[in-house]
Amino acid sequence: MWHFFFRLAFILLVLPITAIADDTAQTPMIEQGRLLSYLADKSAFTLIDARSPEEFRASHVDGAINIPHSALDAHRQQLPEDLDGAILIYCKTGVRAGKLAEALRRLGYHNVEVLPSKQLMFYSDMVVFNCGAKS
């Protein structure tokens, strides 16, 4: 009988996580040159970190602004005025970044992309682009 409950728990807990991972795996890679140009002069796009303020304080990509996916209204003044300007959003798995990207598109932003999680590297107190990630 306990095998049944174990299998049920596995289905309810693990499969949704797998589905989330599969969704983020479908996010197209960002061109390496774009990431490198951002690191050189920060003007290639607006970089938004969709994680919580606590996560952002602990570590973030240099030059990123923090707009938590669940607090867009409180941070609208940080958004660029140009609705056609390039915006690149990241979080740890791509889920929160995807939610924020959709919200920005509903606000009229046209050039919004999500940085795939495999193009980020998280090391204790540092987040950096993984410019050598393979698609």
pLDDT one-digit tens code per residue, 5-48: 334 333 334 334 334 444 444 678 888 888 888 888 878 789 99
- Our CA angle for 133, 129, 84, nearest 5°, is 105
pLDDT tens column, 98-107: 999 999 999 9
Residue 122 is predicted with a pLDDT of 82
- Domain 2-129 -> CATH class: alpha beta
Lowest mean pLDDT segment, chosen from 36-40, 104-108, 116-120, 129-133? 129-133
Clarify whether 131 is annotated catalytic. Answer: no
Q: Where do the structural domains in the chain lie, given as residue ranges?
A: 2-129
Please give the pLDDT value at position 6: 36
**Catalytic-labelled residue, pool 91, 112, 115, 127:** 91
pLDDT tens for 52-81 read 999 999 999 989 999 999 999 999 999 999
Helix (H) or strand (E) holding 25: helix 2-25
